[in-house]
């Protein structure tokens, strides 16, 4: 997907002024509320007309103030998943799912209804009314409805922010797998850096109605480490744990990590803040932290007043943060060997 967008839109005090070109299939739009994300989404979908500008999606002009082109939303083939599910309350699950499908011209219909219902695990719900569904089920139906419209681009406008934490992480795999499975590129809008890292490759950062930065989600997380209260969040893919002396041993790449919590799953994702990693120059004789990993320093980067240290632990990556004095005292340079100590209680398993 290639999208180039130039737009100016003014309402009262707020002014959206943006100009960017982006390509890829997993694009993020990141910013705090009031930064212009939702305005951008409405402009793209054709629900709001910019004062001036031009929108070109995969070579087709959707809007141009100069050429007086303004395709209405129904002709743009850009489907949306909203913050609130926005399901039609007078239709059952099946008819909600089929709403866009029935209106899609036959030549674009490539997605099979049954295959989609299977991927989203909706088969048992089809005849139910939508008002009786749980929050997660509603958002899955909303996602299915958007995908079945066979769009060329899917806009997800903070689709997880109305859900509680455990539901959020249950829905993320569906959001990812559905668009990958059916080959639909998406623009994922959120104010959560964690969601950006789980959902997107390339991120557009919005502030006060302007795009201020375009980076990968990883670069964004690293550059914000210094200002963030929680530091850089390492996301670790862990295997099935086994019990060991009152703790739980998880396979992690070629290493093993000891955690104080049990996940009871074959695969889980754990968060670890860069602030919770202590670095040692030499192997300490004895420490209370239950994880001590020998690592190689892959690189160093600066973020605010902090220095990020990218560590290679037997092929897997960890980011630790230290201050400049610590770098000097420990003699941390690229390629040097170092020991990282992490308490078993420092990890948080993401619900899922």
Partner 1 sequence: MTPLSSTDYDAIRLSLQVSVAATLLSLPLGFAVAYLITFVRFRGKIVLEVLVNLPLTLPPVVVGYFLLLLLGKHGWLGSLLNEAGFRIIFTLKAAVIASAVVGFPLLVRSLRIGMETIDPQLINASRTLGARWYDTLLTVILPLSGPGLIAGSSLMFARSLGEFGATIIVAGNIPGVTQTIPLAIYEYASSPTSEKMALSLCLVSVVISVIVLFVHELMARKTARRD
Binding positions for partner 1, rule: CB under 8 A: 45-47, 72-74, 76-80, 82, 84, 86, 88-90, 99-100, 103-104, 131, 145-146, 149, 155
Q: Name the residue nearer to partner 1 (CB basis): 86 or 292.
A: 86
Quote the least distance from Cβ 78 to partner 1, whole Å. Answer: 6
Quote the least distance from Cβ 148 to partner 1, whole Å. Answer: 9
CA gap 338, 318 in Å, rounded: 12
CA gap 143, 87 in Å, rounded: 10
Q: Name the residue nearer to partner 1 (CB basis): 59 or 72.
A: 72
Q: Name the residue nearer to partner 1 (CB basis): 189 or 263.
A: 189
Neighbouring CB atoms inside 10 A of 276's CB total 19
Quote the least distance from Cβ 117 to partner 1, whole Å. Answer: 17
CA gap 199, 202 in Å, rounded: 10
Q: Name the residue nearer to partner 1 (CB basis): 42 or 217.
A: 42
How is residue 96 written in tokens? Answer: 């909600």
Quote the least distance from Cβ 62 to partner 1, whole Å. Answer: 13
Q: What is the 8-class DSSP label of residue 266?
A: S
Quote the least distance from Cβ 122 to partner 1, whole Å. Answer: 17
How is residue 191 written in tokens? Answer: 């104010």
Contact (CB, 8 A) for 64 and 212: no
Please spell the DSSP secondary structure of 112-130, one letter per residue: -HHHHHHHTT-GGGTTSBG
Quote the least distance from Cβ 135 to partner 1, whole Å. Answer: 16
Q: Name the residue nearer to partner 1 (CB basis): 104 or 300.
A: 104
Q: How would you classify the pairing of strands 186-190 and 153-157?
A: parallel
C-alpha separations of 233 from 159, 192, 230, 347 in Å: 22, 12, 7, 10
Residues 6 or more apart whose Cβ sits within 8 Å of residue 181 = 119
Q: Name the residue nearer to partner 1 (CB basis): 82 or 339.
A: 82
């Amino acid at each position: 997907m290639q999208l180039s967008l130039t737009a100016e839109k003014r309402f009262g005090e707020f002014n959206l002024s943006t100009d960017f070109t982006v390509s890829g299939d997993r694009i993020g739009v990141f910013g705090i509320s009031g930064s212009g994300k939702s305005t951008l989404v409405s402009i793209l979908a054709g629900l709001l007309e910019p004062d001036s500008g031009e929108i070109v999606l995969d070579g087709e002009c959707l809007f141009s103030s100069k050429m007086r082109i303004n395709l209405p939303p129904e002709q743009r083939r850009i489907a949306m998943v909203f913050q609130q599910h926005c399901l039609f309350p007078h239709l059952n699950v099946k008819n909600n799912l089929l709403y866009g499908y029935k209106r899609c011209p036959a030549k674009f219909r490539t997605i099979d209804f049954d295959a989609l219902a299977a991927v989203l695990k909706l088969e048992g719900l089809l005849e139910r009314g939508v008002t009786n569904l749980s929050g997660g089920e509603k958002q899955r139906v909303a996602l299915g409805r958007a995908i079945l419209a066979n769009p060329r681009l899917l806009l997800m406008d903070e689709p997880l922010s109305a859900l509680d934490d455990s539901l959020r992480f249950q829905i993320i795999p569906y959001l990812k797998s559905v668009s990958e499975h059916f080959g639909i590129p998406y623009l994922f809008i959120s104010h959560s850096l964690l969601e950006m890292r789980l959902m997107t490759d390339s991120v557009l950062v919005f502030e006060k109605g302007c795009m201020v930065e375009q980076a990968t989600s990883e670069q964004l997380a690293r550059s914000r480490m210094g200002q963030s209260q929680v530091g850089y969040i390492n996301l670790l893919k862990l295997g099935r744990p086994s019990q060991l002396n009152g703790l739980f041993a998880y396979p992690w790449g070629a290493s093993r990590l000891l955690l104080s919590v049990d996940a009871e799953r074959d695969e889980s994702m754990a968060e670890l803040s860069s602030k919770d990693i202590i670095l040692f120059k030499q192997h300490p004789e004895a420490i209370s932290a239950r994880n001590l990993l020998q690592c190689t320093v892959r690189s160093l980067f600066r973020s605010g007043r902090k220095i990020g240290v990218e560590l290679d632990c037997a092929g897997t990556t960890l980011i630790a943060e230290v201050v400049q004095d610590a770098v000097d005292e420990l003699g941390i340079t690229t390629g040097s060997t170092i020991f990282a100590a992490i308490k078993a209680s420092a990890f948080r398993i993401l619900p899922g």
